[in-house]
């Protein structure tokens, strides 16, 4: 096996320089770093992980907890974090809480025991045990996607309320007045904020919010399917639906198809997230795009900075959602044909 001395000889530097580059403990020029990394690759040198961790008190690992790895939104954010971490010479340990506070707490204990250098955290639902545990640790952590009130951690969030406003305003601009909403779980901040945006947009347009036009799902496609069917069974069904994430919107598309309704000719549907699948549904889904890649890159950059300097001031960034107009929405006149209006 190649040794650090072999790497130093091949690169023409000292073993101390090689050590600083591997452990990221001193600034060196990019040219020198490249020489050493090329020598490491050529010799297939493998630093001894446990010994290096003992010397540096760093493991070069980041823990990440997400609530649902089957949801493409979280998978895309996690991929962005992994890419950004790899560029910074960090590995990522990804844990799926499956929306369970108990599972979330177990994974937090595991990551702390593994000695991760930092943690990217998307909460399963603001469980106080998880928050208390993290607050008692010296480990740097960044909260993403779901806001946790009164927590002393960096936060990278999306303006869900404005996204809900934009989505509903778009449907209103197409002439729709009877607009249903498939909201997410009541206890989750993004769900509450998107629903609030929907309600405020209707109120601003002088339209009373009808509780019968609101159904709650669990952010999965099957719940969107069931909620859409329930809305369309109403004696005055909506001409348009705002689904508060793309998976529920895709479920609503399927429910409309199974009911013989044309999209968007007879029903308009808009989602939220802009997951990769949304551009490949039929028809292609109009949605509110969350800046997933920007979110992942920013939270990773902030986490790496805080790992290196835990005295940085607390930071909070609110990113904007953007309307992506595709094919699943149409003006009201088209939808009214289904209801027998002239």
The mean-pLDDT minimum among 20-29, 91-100, 215-224, 297-306 falls in 20-29
Comparing 42-56, 166-180, 233-247, which segment has the lowest mean pLDDT?
A: 42-56
In a shared domain, residues 95 and 123: yes
Do 188 and 273 lie in one domain? The reply is: yes
Domain boundaries, position 272: 160-290+324-336
Mean pLDDT throughout 242-254? 98
| Residue 341 within any structural domain of the chain | no
Helix (H) or strand (E) holding 288: strand 286-289
Domain termination site, one of 38, 55, 72: 55
Spacing of C-alpha 67 from chain mean position: 10
Shared domain check, 192 and 268: yes
Does some domain include residue 153? yes
Instruction: Choose the final residue of a domain: 33, 55, 77.
Output: 55
Are 192 and 227 contained in the same domain? yes
**Same domain, yes or no, for 192 and 328?**
yes
* Per-residue confidence (pLDDT) for residue 50, from 0 to 100: 52
Q: What is the pLDDT of residues 261-292, one digit of tens each?
A: 999 999 999 999 999 999 999 999 999 999 99
Total H helices, total E strands in the chain = 13, 12
The whole-chain average pLDDT of the chain stands at: 91
pLDDT (tens digit, 9 = 90+) per residue, 183-239?
A: 999 989 999 999 999 999 999 999 999 999 999 999 999 999 999 999 999 999 999
- Would you say the pTM of this structure is higher than 0.85? no
Least confident among 23-27, 108-112, 151-155, 336-340: 336-340
Q: For the chain, give the percent of residues with pLDDT over 70.
A: 94
* 51-71 average pLDDT score: 79
pLDDT at 54: 43
Q: Are residues 328 and 307 in the same domain?
A: no
Question: What is the CATH classification number for the domain harbouring 99?
Answer: 3.40.50.2300
Q: Residue 189: inside a domain, yes or no?
A: yes
Task: Give the burial class of 49: count Cβ atoms within 10 A of its Cβ; 0-12 exposed, 13-18 middle, 19 or more buried.
Answer: exposed
User: pLDDT for 105-125, tens place per residue?
Assistant: 999 999 998 899 999 999 988
Residue 170 lies in a domain: yes
User: Binning pLDDT at 50, 70 and 90, where does residue 49 land?
Assistant: low
Instruction: Give yes or no: residues 277 and 238 share one domain.
Output: yes
Is 273 found in the same domain as 173?
yes
Residue 76 lies in a domain: yes
**In the structure, what pLDDT confidence band is assigned to residue 48 with cuts at 50, 70 and 90?**
low
Q: CB of 288 within 8 A of CB of 322?
A: yes
CA dihedral (141, 145, 151, 152) positive or negative: positive
Does residue 277 form part of some domain?
yes
Q: Which has the closest alpha carbon to 134: 116, 160, 161? A: 116
Number of domains in the chain: 3
Q: Is the pLDDT of residue 336 over 70?
A: no
Contact 218, 155 (CB under 8 A): no
Domain co-membership, 79 together with 98: yes
Residue 264 lies in a domain: yes
Q: Are residues 114 and 200 located together in one domain of the fold?
A: no
Average pLDDT over residues 154-167: 97
pLDDT for res 341: 40
Averaged over 98-110, what is the pLDDT?
A: 93
- Cβ contacts of 246 within 8 Å, gap of 6 or more: 72, 73, 271, 272, 273, 274, 275, 277, 278, 285, 287
Cα–Cα dist 286/302, whole Å: 32
Q: Are residues 21 and 96 located together in one domain of the fold?
A: no
Same domain, 166 and 137: no
| pLDDT level of residue 59 (50, 70, 90 thresholds) | confident
The reply to whether 342 falls in a domain is no
Domain at 50, CATH number: 1.10.260.40
């Amino acid at each position: 096996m190649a040794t650090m001395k072999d790497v130093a000889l091949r690169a023409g530097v000292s073993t101390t320089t090689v050590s600083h580059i591997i452990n990221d403990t001193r600034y060196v020029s990019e040219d020198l770093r490249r020489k050493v990394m090329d020598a490491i690759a050529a010799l297939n040198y493998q630093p001894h992980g446990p010994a290096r961790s003992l010397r540096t008190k760093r493991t070069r690992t980041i823990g990440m907890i997400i609530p649902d790895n089957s949801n493409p939104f979280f998978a895309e954010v996690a991929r962005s974090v992994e890419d950004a971490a790899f560029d910074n010479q960090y590995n990522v340990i990804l844990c799926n809480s499956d929306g369970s506070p108990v599972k979330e707490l177990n994974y937090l204990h595991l990551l702390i025991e593994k000695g991760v250098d930092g943690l990217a955290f998307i909460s399963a639902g603001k469980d106080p045990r998880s928050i208390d545990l993290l607050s008692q640790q010296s480990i740097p952590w960044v909260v993403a996607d779901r806001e946790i009130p009164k927590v002393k951690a960096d936060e990278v969030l999306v303006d869900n309320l404005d996204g809900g406003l934009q989505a509903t305003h778009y449907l209103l601009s197409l002439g729709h007045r009877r607009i249903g909403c498939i909201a997410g779980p009541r206890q989750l901040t993004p769900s509450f904020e998107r629903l609030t945006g929907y309600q405020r947009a209707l109120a601003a347009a002088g339209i009373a919010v009808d509780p019968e036009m609101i159904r709650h799902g669990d952010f999965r496609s099957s719940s969107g399917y069931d909620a859409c069917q329930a809305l369309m069974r109403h004696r005055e069904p909506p001409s348009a639906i705002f689904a508060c994430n793309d998976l529920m919107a895709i479920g609503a598309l399927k429910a409309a198809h199974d009911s013989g309704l044309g999209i968007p000719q007879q029903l308009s549907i808009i989602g939220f997230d802009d997951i990769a699948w949304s551009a490949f549904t039929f028809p292609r889904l109009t949605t509110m795009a969350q800046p997933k890649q920007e979110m992942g890159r920013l939270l990773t950059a902030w986490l790496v900075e805080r790992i290196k300097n835990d005295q940085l001031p607390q930071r909070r960034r609110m990113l904007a959602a953007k309307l992506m107009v595709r094919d699943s929405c149409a003006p009201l006149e088209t939808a009214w044909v289904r209801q027998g209006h002239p």
